[in-house]
């Protein structure tokens, strides 16, 4: 019999029992079962420091909550900010999303600082906009007709940009004014729709209503992926929360003495 393994077989999973249970001569080999379970949480100092404490996501987006769950923040309180997002669209896109996210974060932090649940250990807020090649900020479509028009324009215009601003706030241990640390970041990703996407496909996608509640009218993590030919930059950013940048912000805001990207470096 050949010892050569089938190259199409997946590699063996870690087997804790086989690593830690001694085998006795003559005893039957342990039965290995494929168990579907979530990966263990990241054991990082910043995440360990807030484990069991109040961590608030100032956003109703289930996609942002899911992305934070992926890095081990699984007991997040979701407290959306209901303040109107009415900053002027004449602002540069990165400034528009930054001001919007910072407003969300500040309002929820101040709202919850004297809560009977206790002071939040961390508040995370984010805002995402899609920007046309002409520089127009495209948010959620307000009607089916507008939804179709926006997607056709994105298909016909080549590359467009997605900006997400992330803002994190945490209380300072000292009584120094203003009593909290704040870190912020704006991420930019370029996205190109497939120019061969048909009007029929766009209409069919709009009818699913998947993109009705999303900036730019599409969700790249869902059926909206059929519209996209390629991206240049962070995929998570297009979904609504750049995880790499968010992890850095969490570490910086919980340890403000650590040098890193500060708020003057978000305009990359």
Catalytic residue among 3, 75, 127, 194: 127
Distance CA 155, CA 188 (A): 19
Q: Known catalytic residue: 127?
A: yes
Contacts of 230 (CB under 8 A, 6+ apart): 191, 192
* Contact between 255 and 242 (Cβ < 8 Å): no
The set of catalytic residues is: 127
């Amino acid at each position: 019999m050949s010892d050569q393994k089938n190259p199409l077989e997946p590699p063996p999973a870690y087997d804790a029992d086989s690593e830690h249970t001694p085998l006795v001569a003559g005893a039957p080999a342990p039965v290995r079962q494929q168990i579907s379970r979530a990966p263990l949480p990241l054991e990082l100092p910043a995440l360990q420091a807030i484990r069991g404490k109040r961590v608030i996501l100032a956003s109703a987006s289930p996609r942002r909550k899911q992305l934070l769950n992926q890095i081990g923040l699984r007991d997040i309180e979701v407290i959306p900010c209901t303040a109107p997002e009415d900053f002027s669209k004449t602002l540069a896109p990165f400034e528009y999303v930054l001001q919007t996210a910072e407003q969300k974060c500040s309002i929820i932090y101040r709202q919850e600082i004297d809560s009977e649940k206790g002071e939040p250990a961390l508040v995370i807020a984010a805002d995402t906009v899609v920007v046309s090649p002409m520089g127009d900020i495209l948010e959620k479509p307000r009607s089916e007709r507008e939804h179709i028009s926006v997607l056709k324009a994105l298909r016909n215009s080549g590359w467009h940009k997605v900006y997400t601003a992330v803002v994190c706030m945490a209380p300072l241990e000292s009584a120094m004014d203003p009593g909290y640390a704040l870190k912020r970041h704006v991420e930019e990703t370029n996205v190109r729709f497939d120019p061969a996407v048909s009007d029929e496909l766009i209409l069919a996608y709009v009818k699913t209503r998947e993109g009705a509640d999303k900036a730019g009218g599409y969700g790249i993590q869902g059926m909206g992926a059929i519209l996209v030919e390629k991206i240049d930059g962070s995929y998570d950013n297009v979904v609504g929360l750049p995880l790499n940048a968010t992890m850095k912000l969490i570490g910086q805001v919980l340890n403000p003495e650590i040098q890193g990207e500060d708020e003057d470096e978000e305009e990359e």
